[in-house]
Amino acid sequence: MIRRFRCAYFVPGLVVCLVTLMGCSRTSSRLSSAELNGQDLFDLHCALCHEGMNPDLRKQPPRLEGLFQSKTLPSGAPATDDQVRKTVIEGLGTMPAFDQRLHRDDVDHLVKYLHTLK
């Protein structure tokens, strides 16, 4: 009876752990090397403002999940790779320009990663 009781909790617990671990690594394992580099750049340069609330900002920046699912960006500009590159390089409103911080390849990788955010 004790063995059945332990097994009844052990097996479902093990399944939950495995599913959780698979979920954590699933996104990264599907990304190309360019997208992984873009993810690192996003975490370093973008996540602080675009993920969660930042009380130091007058206006909260838009979340970037599903950015390319719409026809337009939050600014109203077309949701194209070129427009997102332009926004990253030149900045927009309170978003700073990243032309001095990111190389062209970095911006391309960042855009590729943004396409993976659904």
User: DSSP for 2-71?
Assistant: HHHHHHHHHHHHHHHHHHHHHHHHHHHHHS-HHHHHHHHHIIIIIHHHHSS--TTSSSPPPP-TTGGGSS
Q: Give how many domains the chain has, as a whole number.
A: 2
Rounded average pLDDT over 52-81: 91
Rounded average pLDDT over 4-12: 49
Residues 47 and 98 in one domain: yes
pLDDT at 5 over 90: no
Residue 22 is part of which domain span?
1-29
Residues 42 and 62 in one domain: yes
Residues 55 and 25 in one domain: no
Residues 53 and 99 in one domain: yes
Residues 23 and 55 in one domain: no
pLDDT at 12 over 70: no
Residues 15 and 35 in one domain: no
Predicted confidence band at 74 (pLDDT cuts at 50, 70, 90)? very high
Residues 40 and 8 in one domain: no
Higher pLDDT, 16 or 36: 36
pLDDT tens-digit profile of 31-45?
999 999 999 999 999
Residues 13 and 68 in one domain: no
In the chain, the largest separation of any two C-alpha atoms, in whole Å, equals: 68
Residues 45 and 19 in one domain: no
pTM score: 0.73
Residues 9 and 46 in one domain: no
